[in-house]
Amino acid sequence: MESTFSSPAEVALQREAGAPGVSTPSADLDRVYELERVTGFVRDLKCQRVALQFPDQLLGDAGAVAARLEETTGSKMFILGDTAYGSCCVDVLGAEQAGAQALVHFGPACLSPPARPLPVAFILGHRFVALELCVKAFEAQNPDPTAPVALLSEPACAYALEALATLLRPKYQDLLVSSPALHLPVESSNLEPEHLECFGRHFPLAPGRRLEEYGAFYVGGTEANTDLDPDLSRLLLGWAPGRPFSSCCPDTGQIQDESARAGRLRARRLYLIERARDARVVGLLVGTLGVARHREALAHLRKLTQAAGKRSYVLALGRPTPAKLANFPEMDVFVLLACPLGALAPHPSGSFFRPVLTPCELEAACNPAWPPPGLAPYLTHYADLLPGSPFHVPLPPPESELWDTPDVSLISGELRPPPSWKTSDDPGCSALTPRPPLHLAESSPAASFLNSRSWKGLEPHLGQTPVTEAVSGRRGIAIAYENEGSS
């Protein structure tokens, strides 16, 4: 039997472990993985135990890299290759379990600050960039030499942006070169205070200049891959809508105007916001445990849903899949609390039976004061929604007229009722309700909703069932037992 949320039974029994990516020749390991820089990082910290985090496509080189580093540093290396969530985040929990004093992250990274203080070195990689082809593509896309343009790239091509800017500056004077926002220790940070940090990058803006004034030229991606890279999606969503945005393949110099795809991403975000406004039950998916302030963000999302009159449930399922989320048909929408790249990771069209939103889309749906005037509404990181961020917008007080503004669903065409605020005198999720005779019970709308379901789970019925001898049960897997006929 095969459906949208399951696969044939034979697949589970005949599945073979996938082979890692193509191994790098031994002579190129030092260059590809920057082992000299990693060795200096370990020696400077005088670490005896170091964790090496690899994504799935680089696990084929993990053993050789670890052996080479143990030989040159004398420290014990531990390979982390089974991250519970996205491999772009620093796995501080796995490093702590190994007792590591530092961590080296290889491959694409979201560059989100870790939840716990741990020395981290990022090896983003060195993808080949054909500078001459990129220069020709830039000149073809930007004929005006006075137009302000920001140079962006995928992490593996960031090393080549300064060289590209050097070739362009004789003709183009208003160039803004971005660099990865590596989170360095405070004592070792030499970043200029006026540098703007946004989208996981640093932008050296001149005094009085704003990022919204610049167009964008992105070096990265491939021609064959039709799915948008999460890093490029983050940039397309957050960049100023009125400014040009183009991408260039670093291998071939093929250029593409991304304005149309940016418009589709923003239109989908508006659709998801409408779905969130119509939703009555929201599932909050915990998509990270290693990024800073994730607990604070989870509490903020629960407060948002309660203020908007919605029920919310916190679900810790690891990486979300259609089969996992199909076990919760009561949810109208899901909100994935993850790093920007994890929240925007591409999913097959229509694979989930309910929409999966980002925290920023839930904020726009539940906070009537959003978006703030003068600030970009297209955010991608949940940290931008929390207190202390310039994009943070507090919830209006209960007596504010914003809660009573008429609102019509653009999907169903029905009038949405205003949310009912619970004051301190009303029973809520954490309020105690007196029950005669003088008993106290906690009133929970979420528990009351689950209580109304016809099936409530396995019930032991201790002492109410007769004792029988053990019998042979069914054999096979739940999707197709041996004694069941094929359908």
Provide DSSP, 391-452: T--PPPPTT-GGGGS-EE-TTT-PEEPPP----TTS--TT-EEEETTTEEEE--HHHHHHHT
Q: Which runs of consecutive H residues, i.e. helices, occur in 217-369?
A: 230-238, 259-278, 294-307, 322-325, 340-343, 359-366
Tens of pLDDT along 100-131? 999 999 988 888 888 888 899 999 888 889 99
- What is the DSSP-derived secondary structure letter of residue 291? B
What is the reported pLDDT for 388?
A: 86
Residue 72 pLDDT class (50, 70, 90 cuts): very high
What is the reported pLDDT for 222?
A: 72
Q: 337 with 382: CB under 8 angstroms?
A: yes
The amino acid that residue 38 corresponds to is V
Tokens (6 digits) for 361: 């889309």
State mean pLDDT over 387-391.
84
Tokens (6 digits) for 261: 């795809």
Residue 186 pLDDT class (50, 70, 90 cuts): very low
State mean pLDDT over 289-311.
91
Tens of pLDDT along 223-266? 655 567 888 888 998 888 888 999 999 988 899 999 888 889 88
- Residue 282 three-state SS: strand
Most confidently modeled range among 181-190, 417-426, 444-453: 444-453
What is the reported pLDDT for 1?
A: 44
Tens of pLDDT along 398-438? 888 888 888 888 888 888 887 765 444 444 445 555 555 55
Rounded to the nearest integer, the mean pLDDT of the chain is: 82
Q: 301 with 364: CB under 8 angstroms?
A: no
Tens of pLDDT along 34-64? 999 999 999 999 989 999 999 888 888 899 9
Q: 266 with 241: CB under 8 angstroms?
A: yes
Residue 68 pLDDT class (50, 70, 90 cuts): very high
Tokens (6 digits) for 109: 């990274």
Secondary structure of the chain: what % helix, strand, coil (to 5)?
A: 30, 15, 50
Among the listed residues 183, 179, 216, 213, the one whose alpha carbon sits nearest the alpha carbon of residue 195: 179
From residue 382, how far is each of 244, 277, 286, 338 by CA, in Å?
26, 19, 12, 8
Residue 301 pLDDT class (50, 70, 90 cuts): very high
Among the listed residues 67, 60, 55, the one whose alpha carbon sits nearest the alpha carbon of residue 19: 60
What is the reported pLDDT for 447?
A: 66
- Residue 121 three-state SS: strand
What is the reported pLDDT for 116?
A: 84
Residue 25 pLDDT class (50, 70, 90 cuts): confident
Q: 310 with 279: CB under 8 angstroms?
A: yes
Query: Beta-carbon neighbour count of residue 112 at 10 Å?
Result: 27
What is the reported pLDDT for 424?
A: 40
Residue 187 pLDDT class (50, 70, 90 cuts): very low
What is the reported pLDDT for 65?
A: 92
